[in-house]
Amino acid sequence: MPAVKGSQFIGWMGLTFFVPENWDLVHAKGNRFDGYLRFDEDGVTRCEIQWTLVSAGRVILDEQVEHYLKSLEQMLKKQGKPVTIRKNIHIVSRKQVKRNVRDFMWQANTVGYGMMWFCEDCRRALVAQVVGYEHEPVKDWAKQVFLSLSDHADGDWETWSVYGLRFEAPKGWSMSKSEIMPGKIRFVFRLGEYEMVVGRYGPASVLLKDKKLEEFAVEILGKETVERFNIHYRNESLHGHDGMDLVGKDKRAKSPLHVFLRRLKTGNPFPQFRGWLWQCEQSNRVYFAFGLIAPEHEPLWEQFANSVRCHELEF
Ligand SMILES: [Zn+2]
Ligand SMILES: [Zn+2]
């Protein structure tokens, strides 16, 4: 994965790529089977990536490209300018991206470069396109994005990265909730009734002005978690920063009757709580990784919490 100066690394649903750092992720919809990402710069769309699962049958890529370009042409014509569309323009070669891609470009009111492909491994068909105006280096941007793009992770872990929060999550746990807003990013991953949560809040200098880290921890854990678990808070250096290590037991696990009934009902032990929370001075943010997990998930959770990057920028 080539890191380009002035670029940001994006990881989402198994996809990883670089885009220029001043492009903002403004839309992230769907799931790993059908999804869409859009990046804007000052309100202008710069890049869109879309994927869909094709679980059965053969994908005839050329047909898909034709179909897509036809609808694109109709849409562009409405802008009232003559539309030129060209196919197979070799923005990137199949060898360079190591997959069977079709590329195309258009010129109307805007200039766009696109790439479409089908991945046999994750069975997803994908389209990526980069848009700009004639005087802008749109082709270079497209090259940068397309060459860096990988559509699935090898192995059991996937890299997630948005707005300076980067971490790895196990593939089998599905992302069930994401909150992305200024000053707050939070992801929840689920496996049955178990959860792993990661996030960052900022600016730390404001959030922790009149508060100890422990008080802040209680706040972001939320009432439900605090009431459900007996949590032990311990100061600990984490990721090279001042932090807290949290260990909690489900209060119901104290009652033999509750434990018995639960085993009968679900066959599982009560989830236990694990958490790390630390203050990164360099980025002026508070990072955290929590887990409501079964005892056998402990090593998985530790790897998850360890994978969170805060101020380190090199990849
Ligand atoms: Zn793939
Ligand atoms: Zn840090």
What integer pLDDT is reported at residue 5 of this predicted model? 64
Selection from 165, 277, 270 nearest residue 214 by Cα: 277
Per-residue pLDDT, 4? 55
Cα separations (Å) of 257 from 50, 194, 252, 270, 271?
A: 50, 22, 9, 13, 16
Is the pLDDT assigned to residue 114 strictly greater than 90? yes
Position 313 scores a pLDDT of 58
What band does 230 get if pLDDT is binned at 50, 70 and 90? very high
3-state secondary structure the chain: CCCCCCEEEEEECCEEEEEECCCEEEEEEECCCEEEEEEEECCEEEEEEEEEECCCCCCCHHHHHHHHHHHHHHHHHCCCCCCEEEECCCCCCHHHHCCCEEEEEEECCCEEEEEEEEECCCCEEEEEEEEECCCCCHHHHHHHHHHHCECCCCCCEEEEEECCEEEEEECCCEEEEEEEECCEEEEEEEECCEEEEEEEECCHHHHCCCCCHHHHHHHHHHHHHHHHEEEEEEEEEECCEEEEEEEEEEHHHHCHHHHHHHHHHHCCCCCEEEEEEEEECCCCEEEEEEEEECHHHHHHHHHHHHCCECCCCCC
- Ligand 2 centroid to Cα of residue 198, in Å, is 15
Q: 66 alpha carbon to ligand 1 midpoint, in Å?
A: 22
Q: What is the pTM of this model?
A: 0.91
For ligand 1, the distance from its centroid to the CA atom of residue 75, given in whole angstroms, is 29
CB atoms within 10 A of CB 149: 22
For residue 114, the cross-strand partners are: 104, 129
Ligand 2 centroid–CA 36 distance in Å is: 30
Which strand ranges, in their side-by-side order, compose the sheet holding 165-170?
15-20, 7-12, 157-162, 165-170
Contact 172, 309 (CB under 8 A): no
Q: Which of 50-59, 143-152, 288-297 has the lowest mean pLDDT?
A: 50-59
The pLDDT of residue 164 = 81
Domains of the chain: 7-148 (3.40.1000.10), 158-306 (3.40.1000)
Higher pLDDT among residues 229 and 182, named by residue: 229
pLDDT of residue 240: 93
Q: How far is the CA of 102 from the centre of ligand 2 (A)?
A: 41
- Across the strands, what pairs with 17? 10
The CA 150 to ligand 1 mean position distance, Å, reads 7
> Looking at the CA of 284, which ligand is closest?
2
CA 123 to ligand 1 center in whole angstroms: 6
Residues 6+ apart with CB under 8 A from 70: none
Mean pLDDT of the region 126-144: 95
Say how many Å lie between the CA of residue 159 and the centre of ligand 1: 14
Query: Is residue 144 scored above 50 in pLDDT?
Result: yes
Residue from 4, 8, 9, 46 nearest 26 by CA: 46
Mean pLDDT of 55-77: 88
Average of per-residue pLDDT across 243-254: 91
Average of per-residue pLDDT across 230-250: 95
Region 135-160: what's the mean pLDDT?
Answer: 95
Task: Quickly state the pLDDT bin for 1 (edges 50, 70, 90).
Answer: very low
Distance (angstroms) between ligand 1 centre and the Cα of 152 equals 4
Q: Residue 314: pLDDT band by 50, 70, 90 thresholds?
A: very low
| pLDDT the model gives residue 260 | 81
Q: How far apart are alpha carbons 89 and 26 in whole angstroms?
A: 29
Percent of the chain with pLDDT over 70: 97
Residue 155: pLDDT over 90? yes
